[in-house]
Amino acid sequence: MLKMGIVGASGYTGAETMRLVASHPDISVVVAAGESTAGVRVADLYASLAPAYGEMVYEPYDVALFAGLDVVVMGLPHGTSQPIVKELHGRVGLIVDMGADFRLKDPALYPQWYGETHSCPELLDEFVYGLPELYRDQIVGAKAIAVPGCNPTAACLALAPFSHGNLLDGDSVIVDLATGASGAGRGPKPKMQFCAVDENYEAYGLLDHRHTPEMEQVLNTTVLFTPHLVPMSRGILATCYAKPTNTMTTEQALAVMADFYADEPFVFVSERSPSTKATLGSNSAHLTARVDPRTGRLIAIAAIDHLTKGSAGGALQSINVALGLDESTGLPTLGLLP
Same domain, 176 and 289: yes
Same domain, 180 and 296: yes
Q: How many CB atoms lie within 10 A of CB 222?
A: 12
> Taking 90 as the threshold, does the pLDDT of residue 149 lie above it?
yes
Q: Could you tell me the CA-to-CA distances from 290 to 203, 222, 240 in Å, in that order? A: 24, 21, 10
Q: Give the residue-averaged pLDDT of 287-310.
A: 97
Q: Return the pLDDT at 143.
A: 98
Same domain, 197 and 65: no
The three state secondary structure string of the chain is CEEEEEECCCCHHHHHHHHHHCCCCCEEEEEEECHHHCCCEHHHHCHHHHHHHCCCECECCCHHHHCCCCEEEECCCCCCHHHHHHHHCCCCCEEEECCCCCCCCCCCHHHHHHCCCCCCHHHHHHCEECCHHHHHHHHCCCCEEECCCHHHHHHHHHHHHHHCCCCEEEEEEEEEEEECHHHHCCCCCHHHCHHHHCCCCEECCCCCCCCHHHHHHHHCCEEEEEEEECCCCCCEEEEEEEEECCCCCHHHHHHHHHHHCCCCCCEEECCCCCCCHHHCCCCCEEEEEEECCCCCCEEEEEEECCCHHHHHHHHHHHHHHHCCCCCCCCCCCCCCCC
CA distance linking residue 60 with residue 37, whole number of Å = 8
Question: CB–CB of 202/190 below 8 Å?
Answer: no
Q: Could you tell me the CA-to-CA distances from 134 to 76, 209, 238, 264 in Å, in that order? A: 24, 23, 18, 10
Of 60, 62, 6, which Cα lies nearest the Cα of 30? 6
Same domain, 178 and 256: yes
Q: Return the pLDDT at 186.
A: 66
Q: In the annotation, is 120 catalytic? A: no
Same domain, 292 and 159: yes
Amino acid at 244: P
Tens of pLDDT along 178-211? 999 877 666 667 776 777 778 788 999 999 999 9
Provide, rounded to the nearest whole percent, the portion of the chain with pLDDT above 70: 98
Question: CB–CB of 127/147 below 8 Å?
Answer: no
The sheet carrying 94-97 orders its strands as 27-33, 2-7, 71-74, 94-97, 144-146, 128-129
* 313, part of any domain: no
Q: Return the pLDDT at 187.
A: 66
Same domain, 210 and 77: no
Provide, rounded to the nearest whole percent, the portion of the chain with pLDDT above 90: 88
Tens of pLDDT along 114-134? 999 999 999 999 999 999 999
- Active-site residue, selected from the candidate residues 150, 156, 195, 240: 150
Same domain, 109 and 196: no
* 205, part of any domain: yes
* 143, part of any domain: no
Q: Could you tell me the CA-to-CA distances from 85 to 7, 32, 59, 71, 194 in Å, in that order? A: 11, 16, 18, 12, 35
Alpha carbon dihedral 120, 219, 283, 206, in 10-degree steps, equals 80
* 312, part of any domain: no
CATH number at residue 115: 3.40.50.720
Domain count, the chain: 2
* 141, part of any domain: no
Same domain, 103 and 15: yes
Same domain, 161 and 297: yes
Q: Give the residue-averaged pLDDT of 74-98.
A: 96
> Taking 80 as the threshold, does the pLDDT of residue 138 lie above it?
yes
Same domain, 106 and 167: no
Tell if the pTM clears 0.85, that is, is over it: yes
Question: CB–CB of 54/26 below 8 Å?
Answer: no
Domain that holds residue 80: 2-126
Q: Return the pLDDT at 188.
A: 64
Q: Return the pLDDT at 281.
A: 97
User: Can you name the residues that pair with 267 across neighbouring β-strands?
Assistant: 285
Peptide bond into 338 cis (omega under 30): yes
Same domain, 121 and 157: no
User: Can you name the residues that pair with 177 across neighbouring β-strands?
Assistant: 227, 238
* 236, part of any domain: yes
